[in-house]
């Protein structure tokens, strides 16, 4: 009996349970408006045949920029457009600073780490992550030099393909992963090292599974599916393997720990464990270390890698833009390695990188928030514990802020004289208390990797291949797998 058959066999029971729970559920007045939900599935049926981005754009026109949408039996509030998202995450930042409990992750992480923890644990882990990332180079020359060195390794690897077609996912993944690995573990891996290939494989598979039907079904029926086989079980097995790697790593590092010579983030955490303060046992325990390292590894690898894959694909799609970037690189940088300080002298390249991030929109629904307490927001009542989704794609395509929101148009970030122009609605790293802890590092990586690659190569599609900008919906919005040719410029 397959998974779908089993699910269908319990539908009647679930319908009855849903009706019973619905009658007992407290009714709240003045919730944000939204489409009427069905038993069990809520409004999920609306997503089956509709593009979700187009659907929510249409729903916002009908119900406004704050609307209620039911995922199964749970209601969620969706926020549409920059002004509304800014109001929620900045003006009402404290009210919406919590994360909801995501069953796919909380089962393995026990709500530890930094991204999906709450309360004092989140505050402590975020403070530690920010301070330690800075201590080990984030935003400083030390980490810039590591990125420059890694970019050169990436260039040499790409040159080895001799201009022939290849898929850039693995090499970009490894290059970007090495930056966060150097901060957390103090060393780098070669691109064909079995360890880094295994770690990247676990993360990439989980990214796909979490955005799949299996992941969605588990989120709706965790108690039922916990007892059943299926692809959802791979998520937990992958997490277990990755967590075991982290546990073995810090166990080994503890043997040679020197309080006066902290080599990396794991050392810094282990030193905190030994301080003997109340927070040492309360927050700096092994499970928090495992979750924190995993959080930073995934975020530090996935987001920048996906952005760079979009960057190269878009340069192939728009060769005239690629050429203009290369001309600016040749004029300002020449043949020396790009450095972060070059960015302020390169308005067109800066605009192109911003537009790549805006257009690629790799976290389109944003990371979910949760109401810390009952709150009135824009005239509507949002009860404590309600999930709140700031739809970042609605911000990055807000027609009130971008001249051509649905096209790849670097001029969205240029004024009439060709100078770089900031845009308040450019928030790919989100804003407020839960904004990305690694934003500074990610911005530096994108600039240095992107300019180094275009300094050394002209990217083209293989002969006869079409450039496809279709998105693959997983944990991140990524381009479909593609082949490219990297033609050396020198």
Does position 467 have pLDDT exceeding 60, yes or no?
yes
Q: Please classify residue 233 by burial: count the beta carbons closer than 10 Å to its beta carbon, then call 0-12 exposed, 13-18 middle and 19+ buried.
A: middle
Task: Give the pLDDT confidence of 51-64 residue by residue, as tens digits.
Answer: 888 899 999 999 99
Alpha-carbon gap, residue 208 to 150, rounded angstroms: 27
Q: How far lies 104's CA from each of 214, 298, 302, in Å? A: 11, 15, 18
Q: How far lies 88's CA from each of 116, 214, 338, 454, in Å? A: 18, 31, 38, 39
Nearest to 334 by CA among 417, 452, 442: 452
- As its CATH architecture, domain 111-361+397-488 has Orthogonal Bundle (1.10)
Task: Give the pLDDT confidence of 8-21 residue by residue, as tens digits.
Answer: 443 333 433 344 34
pLDDT at 52: 83
Sequence-distant (6+) residues with CB within 8 A of 106 are 116
Q: Please classify residue 433 by burial: count the beta carbons closer than 10 Å to its beta carbon, then call 0-12 exposed, 13-18 middle and 19+ buried.
A: middle
pLDDT at 21: 42
Alpha-carbon gap, residue 409 to 49, rounded angstroms: 30
pLDDT at 228: 84
Helices (H), 221-343: 222-225, 232-255, 265-273, 278-282, 286-317, 319-332
Q: Supply 162's token pair.
A: 């001799």
Which CATH number is correct for 24-101+365-396, 3.90.25.10, 1.10.3720.10, 3.30.365.10, 3.30.43.20?
Answer: 3.30.43.20
Residue 43 phi, psi dihedral angles, 5° rounding? -105, 10
| Residue 41 banded pLDDT, cuts 50, 70, 90 | confident
pTM score, whole prediction: 0.91
pLDDT at 5: 39
| Residue 27 banded pLDDT, cuts 50, 70, 90 | low
Task: Give the pLDDT confidence of 191-248 residue by residue, as tens digits.
Answer: 999 999 999 999 989 888 887 777 777 777 777 788 888 888 898 899 999 999 999 9
Alpha-carbon gap, residue 484 to 164, rounded angstroms: 8
Task: Give the pLDDT confidence of 228-240 residue by residue, as tens digits.
Answer: 888 888 988 999 9
Which percentage of the chain shows pLDDT scores above 70? 93
Task: Give the pLDDT confidence of 305-359 residue by residue, as tens digits.
Answer: 999 999 999 999 999 999 999 999 999 999 999 999 999 999 999 999 999 999 9
Sequence ranges of the domains in the chain: 24-101+365-396, 111-361+397-488
């Amino acid at each position: 009996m397959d998974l779908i058959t089993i699910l269908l066999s319990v539908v009647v029971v679930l319908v009855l349970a849903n009706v019973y729970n619905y009658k007992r559920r407290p009714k709240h007045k003045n919730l944000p408006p939204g489409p009427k939900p069905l038993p069990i599935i809520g409004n999920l049926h609306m997503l089956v045949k509709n593009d979700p981005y187009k659907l929510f754009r249409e729903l916002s026109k009908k119900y406004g920029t704050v609307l209620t949408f039911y995922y199964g039996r749970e209601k969620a509030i969706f926020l549409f457009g920059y002004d509304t998202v800014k109001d929620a995450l900045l003006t009402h930042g404290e009210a919406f600073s919590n994360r909801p409990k995501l069953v796919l992750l909380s089962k393995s992480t026990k709500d530890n780490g930094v991204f999906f923890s709450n309360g004092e644990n989140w505050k402590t882990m975020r403070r530690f992550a920010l301070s330690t990332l800075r201590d080990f180079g984030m935003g400083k020359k030390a980490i810039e030099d590591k990125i420059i060195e890694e970019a050169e390794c990436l260039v040499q690897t790409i040159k080895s393909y001799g201009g022939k077609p290849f898929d850039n996912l693995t090499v970009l993944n490894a290059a970007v992963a090495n930056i966060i690995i150097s901060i957390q573990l103090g060393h780098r891996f070669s691109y064909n090292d079995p360890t880094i290939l295994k770690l990247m494989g676990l993360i990439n598979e989980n990214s796909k599974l979490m955005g799949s039907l299996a992941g969605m079904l588990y989120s709706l029926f965790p108690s039922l599916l916990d007892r059943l086989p299926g692809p959802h079980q791979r998520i937990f097995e992958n997490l277990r393997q990755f967590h075991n790697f982290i546990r073995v790593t810090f166990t080994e590092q503890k043997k040679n720990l020197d309080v006066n010579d902290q080599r990396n983030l794991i050392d810094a955490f282990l030193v905190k464990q030994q301080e003997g303060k109340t927070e040492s046992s309360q927050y700096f325990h092994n499970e928090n270390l495992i979750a924190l390292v995993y959080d930073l590894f995934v975020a530090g690898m996935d987001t920048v890698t996906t952005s760079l894959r979009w960057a190269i694909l878009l340069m192939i799609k728009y060769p005239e833009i690629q050429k203009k970037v290369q001309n600016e690189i040749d004029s300002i940088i020449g043949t020396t390695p790009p450095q972060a300080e070059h960015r302020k002298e390169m308005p067109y390249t800066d605009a192109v990188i911003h537009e790549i991030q805006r257009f690629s929109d790799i976290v389109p629904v944003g990371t979910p928030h949760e109401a810390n307490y009952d709150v009135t927001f824009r005239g509507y009542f949002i009860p404590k514990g309600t999930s709140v989704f700031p739809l970042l794609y609605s911000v990055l395509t807000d027609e009130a802020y971008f001249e051509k929101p649905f096209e790849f148009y670097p001029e969205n970030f240029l004024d009439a004289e060709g100078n770089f122009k900031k845009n308040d609605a450019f928030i790919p790293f989100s804003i407020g208390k839960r904004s990305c802890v690694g934003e500074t590092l990610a911005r530096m990586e994108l600039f240095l990797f992107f300019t180094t690659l275009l300094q050394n190569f002209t990217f083209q599609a293989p002969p006869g291949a079409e450039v496809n900008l279709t998105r693959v919906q997983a944990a991140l919005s990524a381009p479909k797998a593609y082949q490219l040719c990297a033609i050396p410029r020198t």
